[in-house]
């Protein structure tokens, strides 16, 4: 009773009521095949380790560059933008939070589809936004008319997680033009997809594209995300950011990874090849597995309920993701691992299918 009393007085009521974001598990089990948080099974570019070593040998006692100039220059160069159109964050999660601080006042409407990245509702609650969830169709499709034009902020993960679906640029352009507020296109998985929305940044004044080095650059262990948008929107993010939001190691590693274009392309090709092979194998086994544009498959398994498969695989030291929600409780999200890891998964599937 006393603890309850204290909690209610010391902590904002909305935070007391709120359920925290639950990240995918990160267990330390020897031999575990980890296919639950869409990491990459391969190491980052060897140039990353070299860049980190240079920092360790020199400048760790000094604060990092507060505006990540070298990293932003590398991103701007690679994607053909100006430095002041690029913002860097401590993972793209930090940038998603920064968008609330920069664009949303308490009580304003923030919208996003369901199912999607489950951090959006959590951030909305922290920032006292009014949530508008847009239900996807049975095939996970969306219609323009479902989006409220008056929303202050709209998030679209593209490709979407967990579904792996991709909205076309034609759709996104129409959406941006329909909206009065800011449209954040969260492209965490876009390097595995067949199109990206950077061209919209040039034509649509209200679009910000966010990306991450956690997936296709194999750098989830360091926190490097970036956003590309027009100067006005990017300038607002700079105004509200923490002073030194990216440490020296992250900045140097991110730059090395972004600059090693050949390595990046090879890694994406390998993951996509495994994804397509694995999809065909699951389909052969009767698992309903639509095409995916991310480094994961969203699949409706045969024979047992999805939750049972989660448990069977876990017992065999393979971790995948299951979401307890009526619309998607029959589905599993499986990150694409190495060929050997996926073969092991199929072997366990074959034993119980
Ligand atoms: C759609 C989406 N956006 C953003 C992120 C966060 O990426 P980061 O590691 O850059 O914070 C994730 C992580 O899984 C994601 O699925």
Ligand 1 pocket: which of 97, 119, 121, 335 to mutate (most atoms <8 Å of CB)? 119
Average predicted confidence (pLDDT) for the chain: 95
Q: Does the domain formed by 46-259 have CATH 2.40.40.20?
A: no
Ligand 1 centre to CA of 92 (Å) is: 6
Ligand 1 pocket by Cβ (under 6 Å): 38, 91-93, 117, 157, 161, 186, 188, 212, 214, 220, 225
Q: Can you tell me which atom of ligand 1 is nearest the CA of 89?
A: 10
Task: Specify the range with the lowest mean pLDDT, choosing from 3-17, 28-42, 235-249.
Answer: 3-17
Residue 8 has pLDDT above 60, yes or no: no
Q: Which helix (H) or strand (E) holds 102?
A: helix 92-103
Cut 0.85: pTM above it: yes
Residue-wise pLDDT for 134-191, tens only, equals: 999 999 999 999 999 999 999 999 999 999 999 999 999 999 999 999 999 999 999 9
Question: What is the per-residue pLDDT for 22?
Answer: 83
Domains 28-43+262-352 and 46-259 share a fold: no
pLDDT digits (tens, 9 = 90+) for 82-127: 999 999 999 999 999 999 999 999 899 999 999 999 999 999 999 9
* Confidence grade of residue 129 (pLDDT, cut at 50, 70, 90): very high
Residue with CA nearest ligand 1 atom 13: 188
Indicate if the pLDDT at residue 6 is higher than 80.
Answer: no
Which residue, by CA, sits nearest to atom 12 of ligand 1? Answer: 188
Q: What is the domain partition of the chain in residue ranges? A: 28-43+262-352, 46-259
For residue 93, the CA-to-ligand 1 centroid distance in Å is 6
Q: Which atom of ligand 1 is nearest to the CA of 24?
A: 14
CATH number for the segment(s) 28-43+262-352: 3.90.1150.10
- Give me the helix-helix angle, 261-284 and 339-352, nearest 10°: 10
* Three-class secondary structure of residue 18 per DSSP: coil
Residue-by-residue DSSP string for 122-162: HHHHHTTPEEEEEE--TTS---GGGS-TT-SEEEEESS-TT
Token reading at 59: 């400048």
Per-residue pLDDT at 223: 96
Q: If you average pLDDT over residues 57-63, what whole number do you get?
A: 90
Averaged pLDDT, 53-67: 93
């Amino acid at each position: 009773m006393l603890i309850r009393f204290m909690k209610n007085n010391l902590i904002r009521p909305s935070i007391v009521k709120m359920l925290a974001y639950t990240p995918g598990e990160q267990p330390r089990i020897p031999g575990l095949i980890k296919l639950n948080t869409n990491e990459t099974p391969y190491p980052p570019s060897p140039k990353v380790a070299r860049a980190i070593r240079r920092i360790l040998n020199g400048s760790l006692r000094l604060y990092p560059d507060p505006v990540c100039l070298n990293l932003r220059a590398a991103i701007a160069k690679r994607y053909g933008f100006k430095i002041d159109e690029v913002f860097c964050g401590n993972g793209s999660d930090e940038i998603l939070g920064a968008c609330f601080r920069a664009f949303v006042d308490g009580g304003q409407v923030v919208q996003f589809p369901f199912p999607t990245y489950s951090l959006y509702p959590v951030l909305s609650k922290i920032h006292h936004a009014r949530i508008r969830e847009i239900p996807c169709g049975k095939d996970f499709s969306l219609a323009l008319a479902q989006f409220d034009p008056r929303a202050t902020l709209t998030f679209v993960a593209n490709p979407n997680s967990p579904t792996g679906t991709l909205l076309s640029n034609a759709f996104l352009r129409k959406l941006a033009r329909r909206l009065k507020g800011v449209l954040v296109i969260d492209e965490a998985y876009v390097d595995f997809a067949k199109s990206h929305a950077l061209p919209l940044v040039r034509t649509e004044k209200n679009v910000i594209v966010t990306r991450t080095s956690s997936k296709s650059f194999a750098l989830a262990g360091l926190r490097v995300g970036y956003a590309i948008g027009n100067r006005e929107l990017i300038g607002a993010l700079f105004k509200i950011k923490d002073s030194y939001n990216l440490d020296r190691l992250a900045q140097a590693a991110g730059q090395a990874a972004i600059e090693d274009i050949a390595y990046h392309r090879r890694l994406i090709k390998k993951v996509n090849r495994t994804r397509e092979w694995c999809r065909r194998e699951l389909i052969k086994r009767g698992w309903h597995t639509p095409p995916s544009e991310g480094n994961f498959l969203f699949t409706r398994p045969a024979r047992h309920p999805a939750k049972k498969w989660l448990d069977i695989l876990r017992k065999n030291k393979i971790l995948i993701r299951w979401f307890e929600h009526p619309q998607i409780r029959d589905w599993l999200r499986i990150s694409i691992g190495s060929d050997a890891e996926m073969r092991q998964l199929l072997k366990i599937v074959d034993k119980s299918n």
